[in-house]
Amino acid sequence: MPASAIITSALPYANGEIHLGHIASTYLPADIFTRFLRLKGVEAYHICASDDFGTPILIKAEKEGKKPEDYVAHWNRRDAEDFAAAGISFDLFYRTSSPENVKFVQDVFKKLKQNDHIYEHDVVQFYCEFDDKFLPDRYVVGKCPFCGADNQYSDLCEKCGRVPDEILEPKCAICGRPPVKKQSTHYFFKLSNFSQELKKWLSENARLQTDVKNYVINWINEGLQDWDITRDLSWGVPIPLDEAKGKVFYGWFDNHLCYISTAAKLIEEKGGDGKKFWNGSDIYHFIGKDIVYHHYLFLPAMRMGINREYKLPDYIPTRGHLMLQNQKISKSRNWYIGLRDFVSVFNPDYLRFYMASIVTYSQDDLNFDFDAFAEKINNELIANVGNFVNRALSFTQKSFAGRVPEAGTLAQDDSEIKDAVAAAVKETGELLSANETDRALRRILALSNQLNQYFQKKKPWSEKDTAAATLYVAVNAARSLAILLAPFIPFSAEKMWSQLGLQGSVHKQSWDSAGQFAILAGHALGRVEPLFKKLEAKEIEEQKAKLGRK
């Protein structure tokens, strides 16, 4: 366990809302992990930012008649709200367009240039003489050379999903006129300089996922291409050279540097030294599998290129994409569920619980299934966990006037439960440390199941002699469950905490204390009521029917 850690989640692009896919692959695993570290007493910070620059944003902003600054500010705010509603707890949600990041990116560029990792090269680009500007990427539309679909972007055909080398019948996306080709000087990052060093780093770092590493090493063996990091565009981090007026950096040059500039800002606001803290911490970058290339190659290469002034990541937890009802998420087909919509209908903890139960520590894709969702919530979260907590607390309420009874000497089966709780805390902690979120949750459910068995076997409703000891054990075990579940279902765990009549927040407790029975005889419970409401078939069917409907 490190003394301090910085956890980053991949930056959401500031041109659309957060949906369930984002949550499953990146933000929820990162949040659960960070919450766990905090309980373990690690000085852990979860940071993120909106990814503000780039062509698609500029085009959208122009279409909506807004300044790009205002356009991205809207999404930044909106994303932050949505994350908060789902219990994703960032210590700082900042933006790539922050002055801190702009300065940092420019400094890094200058250092890379000094270290001879940057070169200039003339490229031929589309240029619109009418609008008087270069037309990178999505500023050019035309006919897809693969499927023949009209009006597709030059860098991506949305019809067939392929990336054309050269689009047919090109047109300027702003005015519709055919562009001309014109030369422009671009800056390239010599990714190829780092092939050997990257290979060595990947091979030697046992903390990175093996399947992802193999995949990336293949790319290196095939030969890395240098990266064009320039765009002839007005919206981006300006290239800090007099001769590069009107040119900005490509988004993938600046956005992951924002992990560092944002972390540094946070630490410095707390009175610390950003660089020192970064280099003294374990660094985790949580990502989805689609951005493996950038995080396993581009990001480490750039840090190598500035002589590892900021350390390379220790972990890059990479997960697969979410499918909805066994089909790929697609906005255009409305096969898609926005986070805001979902948590306005369902308890956000239900989403977290279900997602956490299906998310594996691998690149495999996940599947969100509404029936499985309802089943897991009703049968596991409510009938198993919720029921145990509720029967333990309400029995104490009724039979012992809401006060935890004196246990006396614990019988063997009582002590066994105490040991079982301690074992579960230890094992769940190990699984969470290893990022095995789904297994960790399963381990907690196994404990809860065992507690129900215990309660059933001890029959406190008829066995009056041992009832006091049983309830003493059960209430304490419920407290342990609250702490164990706090990273997964933060809102409900807090409710459990207050029903237990405990002071403060469950999120401020120590994980290890969950292995002990800390509630003493005589302790008064809070107000007890069912923690959860069951999902009904009707509301599930309503949601299913919405999918795919336009």
Residues that bind RNA (CB under 7 A): 10, 12-13, 21-22, 24-26, 155-156, 163, 211, 214-215, 218-219, 222, 224-225, 227-228, 250, 252, 287-291, 293-294, 320-322, 328-329, 360, 363-365, 367, 372, 375, 379-380, 382-384, 386-387, 390-391, 394-395, 398, 449, 452-453, 455-457, 459-462, 530-534
Nearer to RNA, 185 or 327 (CB): 327
Burial class (CB in 10 A: 0-12, 13-18, 19+), 508: exposed
Nearest distance, CB of residue 394 and RNA, angstroms: 4
List phi, psi (to 5°) of 307.
Answer: 55, 35
Nearest distance, CB of residue 242 and RNA, angstroms: 26
Q: Which residues pair with residue 43 across a beta bridge?
A: 4
Tokens of 323: 């499918």
Helices 437-458 + 387-399 axis angle, to 10: 40
- The CB density around residue 141, as the number of other CB atoms within 10 Å, is 18
Residue type, 322: L
Nearer to RNA, 5 or 299 (CB): 299
User: Left (φ > 0), alpha (ψ -120 to 50) or beta: where does 262 sit?
Assistant: alpha
Q: Scanning the structure block, which residue is given the tokens 């096969």?
A: 335
CA 307, distance to chain mean position in Å, is: 29
* CA 34/CA 8 separation, integer angstroms: 10
Nearer to RNA, 11 or 267 (CB): 11
User: Closest by alpha carbon to 387, among 516, 497, 217, 532?
Assistant: 532
List phi, psi (to 5°) of 438.
Answer: -65, -40
Nearer to RNA, 245 or 538 (CB): 538
List phi, psi (to 5°) of 320.
Answer: -75, 180
Residue type, 131: D
Nearest distance, CB of residue 286 and RNA, angstroms: 8
Nearest distance, CB of residue 386 and RNA, angstroms: 4
Nearer to RNA, 268 or 341 (CB): 341
Nearest distance, CB of residue 132 and RNA, angstroms: 25
Nearer to RNA, 317 or 501 (CB): 317
Residues 188, 229 contacting (CB under 8 angstroms): yes
Nearest distance, CB of residue 89 and RNA, angstroms: 18
Nearest distance, CB of residue 283 and RNA, angstroms: 17
Nearer to RNA, 132 or 165 (CB): 165
List phi, psi (to 5°) of 44.
Answer: -115, 135
Nearest distance, CB of residue 544 and RNA, angstroms: 16
Nearer to RNA, 19 or 479 (CB): 19
Nearest distance, CB of residue 529 and RNA, angstroms: 8
Nearest distance, CB of residue 202 and RNA, angstroms: 14
Nearer to RNA, 26 or 281 (CB): 26
Nearer to RNA, 286 or 511 (CB): 286
Nearest distance, CB of residue 528 and RNA, angstroms: 9
Residue type, 310: Y
Residues 41, 510 contacting (CB under 8 angstroms): yes
Tokens of 166: 């050269």
Give Cα separations from 502 to 125, 389, 399 (angstroms).
65, 14, 20
Give Cα separations from 288 to 49, 123, 337 (angstroms).
16, 32, 18
* CA 127/CA 181 separation, integer angstroms: 6
Nearest distance, CB of residue 216 and RNA, angstroms: 9
Nearer to RNA, 426 or 442 (CB): 442
Q: Which residues contact 193 (CB under 8 A, 6 or more apart)?
A: 117, 301, 305
- Which helix (H) or strand (E) element contains residue 163? none
Q: Which residues contact 328 (CB under 8 A, 6 or more apart)?
A: 321, 335
Nearer to RNA, 96 or 511 (CB): 96
